[in-house]
Structure 1
C-alpha cells in the first residue's frame, strides 16, 4: 500500500484497460473523478477471440449453462439457438428487481468499470461492441438508475444497469433522469441488441461486491492515514508524551505496521514546542493516546491484506460459465467463480478494522472536550456555560460509532438459499461490501470531528508552537473554519473538513512534508 501512496486518483485522467492488472487508484479515478476509459489492442483481441468461441458453441448447439439452457434452477430447460437472443434480454428484464433508493453515482460507475475489467479478461464471450457501449456510458457520464437494496451478491443492480444498454430502464444524463433510450440518444449513442451469453455475463460475477469493497478500501486507507494525523494532533494538544512512540519500544513488538505508525507520529510532531514541553508531563497517557501505534497498526495490517485480496479479485474473471480456449477450440466450464466470499469476508474484516479506528478516535474526541482530562477549557470554548462549544459534536461522533458497531456484525456468516435451493449457499458478500462502504464514510465524519476539535485545542496552547506539520493542517482547517469564540452553526465546519479528508487533502498535505505515510 505504501508504494501507491503518491498515486492520487484525482490526478489520473485516463485509464487504459488490458495493459496489466488494474489498481484500486485507477478504479477510484474512474468512479469518483471521472477519468476516461479506453481499451488496449490486447484487450480487444482477447474479447474478439472469446466471442468467436461462443458463436462456435452456439452453431454446434453445445449444451452450455445460460447459453443453451435456462438460468438457476431452470438449468434443465434447453433453449434453442433461435431463442438465444430472447433469452439474454429476458434475463436482464426479469433480474432488474433490486429496490429502494438508487445507488450513488460513484458506486454505479465503479460497478460498470468492474464489468469492463472482468469481461475484458477474455473468458466471457461477449462482443467488443457491448463493452464499448459501457465505456461510452462512463466517458459520457451517463449513469444508469440502479436501486441498491435486495441483492444477496450480484444480479439485480447490474440488471438495472444493463437495461440502459438495450434502450430500457432509466439513467441520469447532465443532471436529468431520463428513459434509458433517451439518455443514449442525447449523448449520440444507440442501444444494442444482446447476443447469446451477453445478458448473463453483464449481470454475473463479483462486480458490484468488488466495486463497493474497493471504494470502501480506498476510503479506509485514506482514513487510517488521516487518523495518524488527527491522533498526532490530539496527542500534542492533550499534553501527551511522545515517549510512547520510542522506536526501541516498538522494536520488541514484531508488527511492521505498528513501528511504521510510531515513526509517522514522531515525524508529524517533529519540531513541536508543545510536544517537547510536555513529553514528561505524565508518566504514561491513557490508552487512546499511547496505543495509537498498536491500534492504528493493526487496522493497517488488515487493510493491507484486504487490498491484496481485492486486487486479486479485480484481476479475476467472476463469470459463469467460463469460456476457456484450448488449441483451435475451447470449452465452457461451469462452476462458481461468481461467488463473492473472498471479497465479502475481507469486507466484513474491514468493517471491524474501521470500527476499531472509529472507537479510538471517538475516545480522543471525548478527552479533547472533557476538561477533567484535557486540562483545557470545558468543551474547548473560552466562556463555557453560556456557550456549549464542542459539547455536541462529541455526541455526533458517539452516535456514528454506535451505528458502526451495529454494521460491523459480519454478513458472510449468514445464509439464505435461493433459486429453489439450486443456489443453496449464498455468500451475502454484497451486504458485507456495502456495509464497509457505509462505515468508511461514517469514520470520515468522526475523524473530521477529531481534527476540528484538535485544531480548536491548539488555540489554547499559544504562544507555544505546534509542529510545522500540524501547523499546516491547522491552517488548512482554519482557512474555512474559524476559531470558536461563541456558539455558531457547526454543520458546515464538519462537512468542509470531511470533504478535505474524503478527497485525501490532509494525506497529501502531510506527505508533501514528511514523505510517504506507508504501512
Structure 2
C-alpha cells in the first residue's frame, strides 16, 4: 500500500517502507504547502531580498550577488558542480530511502521548490527508475542528492528495468520532460539532511530485524551450550532499569520455554560465561540505543533542514539562513547505533567460538563429523572473527572526523552521511556473523549428546534452517551455506514467538488511512524510548509494533 506524505511528516518506518518498494504519494495539504512556499521564493526574488543560494553564490561565494537573469544558471550549475560522488553506486533501497526523505523535507513547505520538482522525484521513485548515486565523496549531504537531482534535468544516469540509461532517455520513457530549474531549486535539491535521514531509516529497519534474529539465534546457542535459565529470571532482570534488557529477557524466556535440554542441566553451574548470561544486558542495551536512535531519526524527519528556509507571508516573506542542514545529532546517533550493533555481533562471535571449541562445548570439535579429515566450522569462526575486527575498525566515530572545506567557510564537519553508510556496513557484517552462529547452532543440535527435547521455538528455528541447508559434512563449500543463512536473516523475520506478550505477530499498521504491511515483528521503539527511565515493571506493558524492512 502507498505511503502518503500528509499533514504529518513521515516517520522512519514509513521511509523504510518506501525503501523496500512501497509507492509514495503526496496529499493535497503537502502540495498546497509546497506551492505556498514557492510563492515566497518568487517574492524574495522580485523584491531583491538577499537570500543565500537564491540570489547569491554558495559556500564561500555566499557574498557574491547573482542577478535574476543568472539564477536559473546558478541552480543548474549547482547540480553540475556538486555531482562529485565516487565509488560503486548505492543500492536501490538506499537510493529510494534518500529520495523519500527528500520529498518529505520539501513537503514541510519551507524549501520553496515548485510542486513539479517534487512530483518528478515521486514519479521516478514510483516507477523504480532510480538515479545512479555513487556512494562516496560526501562529508555531509551534497553529492548524493546532486546525482539524484541530475536526472530531473535530464542529466546523469539511472537504473531502470535492469538497464543503465541516460537521465534524458529515462525521462522520455516515463513520459516526462527534463526540468528547467528556477531560483533556489538547485540549492534546495542538494541541501538539508534527507540523505543521511533516509539512510538512517534504512539502518533502523535492518538493525531492528537483525536484533530480532540475534535474540533467537542466541537462544539456540544458549540451549546447545546448556546454559542456566536463571540468567533470564524476570524478578532478577527487573532490578535493572532498561526497557531493552527486560524485553530481551522476556523473549529469551519465551524462546527457551519447555526446553528439555535445559531442564536436564538446571542447577549444574553457578554462572555461565558472560557471552551467555549477559544476552539481555548486551542485546537489551542495543535495543535501548535503537529506541533512542528512532527518536532522533523521527525528529530529523519532522524538522526543516534547508539552508535557507523560507517562511512568512507573500506580503512579508522571510529568509532564515542558518545551520539547520548540519546533521550533528543524526551523525552522533548513527555512530552510536553502529557501535551497539558491533558489540552485539562481537558477542555472537564469542558464542560461536564456544560452540566450536571442544574444551567448553561438550560437542565434537569444531562441530565436524568424527575423524581428522573434517574441519567443520573451524574456519567459519575465523570469518566471524575477521568481521568482528572489521566492525571494530568501522565503529570509529565518523562524527569526529572533522575537516575544513569551502575556503574556511565550512570549517566544522559532522560527516553524518558517512556515519550512516558505515552503520549500514556494520549491520550487514553483523548479519553475516549471526548467520554463521545460526548455522553452527543448527549443526550443534544435530550433534547433541543429551537425549532430551529442544524448546519448541528453537526446534522451529532449527527446522527452518534445515529446510534450506542440510547438515554440514565438509561435502560442499561452507560459504554457500553462509550466504543462504545471511539472506534469511537479511530478508526475512524469524518465526513469531508463541504467546508473545509484548511482542506481537506481524500486524498491519495504519499510515494515513492506508494499511502498510509489516514483515518484521520487533519492539515498539517509540514506546521503549518513553519508558527507558521508568521502572522495569512498566516494560512488561509493551505494545506490538511492525517495522518496515
Relative to the length of structure 2, the TM-score reads 0.89
Distance 2:490 2:344 in 1: 16
Identify the range of structure 1 (299-308 vs 254-263) with the bigger mean alpha-carbon deviation.
254-263
What per-residue deviation string (whole Å, max 9, x for no partner) do you get for residues 241-300 of structure 1?
A: 111111122122222321221121011111111121122232211110011111111111
Within the candidate set 451, 472, 476, 2:464 is matched to 476
Which residue of structure 1 aligns with residue 486 of structure 2?
498
What per-residue deviation string (whole Å, max 9, x for no partner) do you get for residues 450-495 of structure 1?
A: 1111111112236422111111111111111011234322222212
Question: 1:370-449 alignment to 2 at 5 Å?
Answer: 370-449=357-436
Within the candidate set 212, 223, 228, 2:215 is matched to 228
Q: Does 1:510 align with 2:532?
A: no
Identify the range of structure 1 (459-468 vs 73-82) with the bigger mean alpha-carbon deviation.
459-468
Question: 1:96-115 alignment to 2 at 5 Å?
Answer: 96-115=83-102
Which residue of structure 1 aligns with residue 4 of structure 2?
16
Aligned-residue offset at 1:105: 1.6
Q: Is the 8 A contact 1:469 1:513 kept in 2?
A: no
Within the candidate set 254, 264, 271, 2:241 is matched to 254
Q: Secondary structure at the match of 1:442?
A: helix
What per-residue deviation string (whole Å, max 9, x for no partner) do you get for residues 57-77 of structure 1?
A: 111121111001010111111
Distance 1:84 1:485 in 2: 68
Q: Secondary structure at the match of 2:400?
A: coil
Query: Which residues of structure 2 form unaligned runs of 5+?
Result: 505-521, 529-549
Q: Is the 8 A contact 2:248 2:284 kept in 1?
A: yes
Which residue of structure 1 aligns with residue 517 of structure 2?
none
Distance 2:81 2:369 in 1: 63
- After superposition, the Cα gap between the structure-2 partners of 1:375 and 1:306, relative to the gap in structure 1 and judged at 3 Å, is same
Question: 1:37-48 alignment to 2 at 5 Å?
Answer: 37-48=24-35
What per-residue deviation string (whole Å, max 9, x for no partner) do you get for residues 301-330 of structure 1?
A: 111111100111011111010011248532
Q: Does 1:204 align with 2:194?
A: no
Which residue of structure 1 aligns with residue 126 of structure 2?
139
- After superposition, the Cα gap between the structure-2 partners of 1:417 and 1:499, relative to the gap in structure 1 and judged at 3 Å, is same
Distance 2:368 2:7 in 1: 56
Q: Does 1:489 align with 2:485?
A: no
Aligned-residue offset at 1:430: 1.7
Which residue of structure 1 aligns with residue 281 of structure 2?
294
Distance 1:456 1:435 in 2: 32
Question: 1:302-381 alignment to 2 at 5 Å?
Answer: 302-326=289-313, 328-381=315-368
Q: Is the 8 A contact 1:323 1:332 kept in 2?
A: yes
Distance 2:371 2:392 in 1: 32
Tell me the C-alpha RMSD between the 2 structures: 1.4
Identify the range of structure 1 (481-490 vs 340-349) with the bigger mean alpha-carbon deviation.
481-490
Q: Secondary structure at the match of 2:399?
A: coil
Count of aligned positions: 504
Distance 1:380 1:186 in 2: 55
Distance 2:371 2:105 in 1: 58
Distance 2:499 2:210 in 1: 18
Q: Secondary structure at the match of 2:241?
A: coil
Q: Secondary structure at the match of 2:398?
A: coil
Which residue of structure 1 aligns with residue 61 of structure 2?
74
Aligned-residue offset at 1:103: 1.5
Relative to the length of structure 1, the TM-score reads 0.94
Question: 1:452-463 alignment to 2 at 5 Å?
Answer: 452-461=439-448, 463=451
Which residue of structure 2 aligns with residue 8 of structure 1?
none
Distance 1:493 1:512 in 2: 28
Distance 1:65 1:479 in 2: 60
Q: Secondary structure at the match of 1:510?
A: coil
Which residue of structure 2 aligns with residue 6 of structure 1?
none
What per-residue deviation string (whole Å, max 9, x for no partner) do you get for residues 109-140 of structure 1?
A: 11111110111110000111000010010111
Distance 1:24 1:76 in 2: 37
Query: Which residues of structure 1 form unaligned runs of 5+?
Result: 1-12
Distance 1:340 1:408 in 2: 18
Which residue of structure 1 aligns with residue 507 of structure 2?
none
Q: Is the 8 A contact 1:240 1:281 kept in 2?
A: no
Within the candidate set 17, 21, 24, 1:29 is matched to 17
- After superposition, the Cα gap between the structure-2 partners of 1:511 and 1:191, relative to the gap in structure 1 and judged at 3 Å, is farther
